[in-house]
Amino acid sequence: MEIVVQKYGGSSLSTLEKLDTLGARIARRAPRNEKLVLVVSAMGSTTDQLIQLAKTLCPDPPARELDMLLTTGEQVSGALMAMALAKHGARAISFTGAQVGIRTSHHHTRARIEGISVERIERSLRAGQIAIVAGFQGVTEDDALTTLGRGGSDITAIALAVALKARRLEKCTDQDGVFTADPRIYPEAKTIPRLSYEEMLEMSHSGAKILHPRAVFFAWKFGVPILVRDSAVEGQGTLISEMEGNVEQAIIRAVTHDASIAKVTIFKVPDQPGIASRVFEELANKEISVDMIVQSTTVVDTNDISFTVKRPDLAATVEILDRLCREIPGAEVKADSTVGRVSLVGLGIRTETRVASRMFRVLAEKKINIQMIATSDVKITCVIPETQVQDAVKAICKQFGL
């Protein structure tokens, strides 16, 4: 049974008209030699509206109940998608995450998938039905409904693709593939036909919102190709897979950015083993994901540790650090929520030594002050003032001909 998993995001499902058109498109495609599993997000901005509703009623809603509320969003779009397909003559059946046995951890609003039982879906596929699964949600051992956090529907889709040994995952969105830069900032941006998992992972981490980094990571780990394509028109899209052959040529793929991160620095951390691990363990316990981490020794025996977090996590981060610092004599915490990040991504960074210096020079010419630098095999990231992110993206794109 050749299975293809397609993931449809909220903007592809934002109106009944779009659902109807999608239903017709998918139904037309159905007779092919592939079985379809569709993973759907909530319609349009439903999730945000539900969160708003909850917070209006109760400023600090219990996370378990927030999950009970939010999981309805994907259940609604799944049912409507099944109806749209039925209208156009395709046989489809929708499921909640719980119904297809997407077992998760108990961390409400940020749960992790721990296992999937694919029997129910496979039974539907064998019966000739298109299986529709509500994304973003699962169920704990104790039968409580959970959600997977932002981007959770991508995680659902890749986890299903892996569990079902799918031929590929198609991420169906409102643009035809992954672009060399955000076209709203750099209109000359182009679709990238092929990307390696590593490049896509680095791009996801550094602000390309097209795929959740955990989704890319799982796809890489289990070797599931991802095709990013437009849900409304047949285009070429971007294929993300293992790259073979002459990949070592100097390829610079794309510029990504995130204009809304926060930087945190702990000054004067004693140069003793265990302090840094304690800081990041406590943050991990709260499911706060830390991005770039830079440590430098300023004076003898103490370090400064800087890292970036998502802005919504800043308050919780500072609270944890303030508590820890009370136990570390002399340590101080400073937070800056006015920074952004710009990254250059490409396999060429591994081999082409002058990429970094060219990037720094461009920023210097634009009088953009670099506050932090981090590099990986395929990415160079600079933290810069939020207000200069757009200028930086444009300048770097021009410099590297993207």
Residue 21's Cβ-count burial label (10 Å; 0-12, 13-18, 19+) is middle
Minimum distance from residue 84 beta carbon to a second copy (Å): 6
> Nearer to a second copy by C-beta: 27 or 226?
27
Please tell me the distance from the alpha carbon of residue 98 to that of residue 100, in angstroms, as a whole number: 5
Residue 256: helix, strand or coil by DSSP?
strand
Strand ranges (DSSP E) for 27-153?
35-40, 92-95, 102-104, 113-116, 130-134, 137-139, 145-147
Residue 29's Cβ-count burial label (10 Å; 0-12, 13-18, 19+) is middle
Nearest CA to 7 among 128, 136, 145, 164?
A: 136
> Nearer to a second copy by C-beta: 123 or 209?
123
> Nearer to a second copy by C-beta: 143 or 234?
143
Q: Which residues bind a second copy (CB under 8 A)?
A: 16, 19-20, 50, 53-54, 56-59, 61-62, 64-66, 68-69, 71-72, 75-76, 78-80, 82-84, 86-87, 93-94, 96, 98-99, 120, 143-145
**DSSP secondary structure code for residue 96 in this structure:** -
> Nearer to a second copy by C-beta: 99 or 289?
99
Please tell me the distance from the alpha carbon of residue 46 to that of residue 77, in angstroms, as a whole number: 10
Residue bearing tokens 């409580």: 144
Minimum distance from residue 148 beta carbon to a second copy (Å): 17
Minimum distance from residue 102 beta carbon to a second copy (Å): 13
Pairing of β 226-230 and β 238-241: antiparallel
Residue 229: helix, strand or coil by DSSP?
strand
Residue 163's Cβ-count burial label (10 Å; 0-12, 13-18, 19+) is buried
Minimum distance from residue 96 beta carbon to a second copy (Å): 8
Minimum distance from residue 7 beta carbon to a second copy (Å): 19
> Nearer to a second copy by C-beta: 52 or 236?
52
Minimum distance from residue 103 beta carbon to a second copy (Å): 15
> Nearer to a second copy by C-beta: 137 or 196?
137
CA 81, 83, 86, 92 dihedral sign is positive
Cα 387 to its chain centre, rounded Å, is: 23
Nearest CA to 260 among 202, 186, 312, 331?
A: 312
**DSSP per residue, 129-198:** PEEEEETTEEE-TTS-EEE--TTHHHHHHHHHHHHTT-SEEEEEESSSS-BSS-TTT-TT--B-SEEEHH
> Nearer to a second copy by C-beta: 131 or 397?
131
Minimum distance from residue 26 beta carbon to a second copy (Å): 14
Contact 200, 143 (CB under 8 A): no
Minimum distance from residue 110 beta carbon to a second copy (Å): 17
Minimum distance from residue 364 beta carbon to a second copy (Å): 51
> Nearer to a second copy by C-beta: 43 or 216?
43
Residue bearing tokens 């169920």: 139
> Nearer to a second copy by C-beta: 57 or 233?
57
Residue 128: helix, strand or coil by DSSP?
coil
Minimum distance from residue 196 beta carbon to a second copy (Å): 39
> Nearer to a second copy by C-beta: 70 or 345?
70
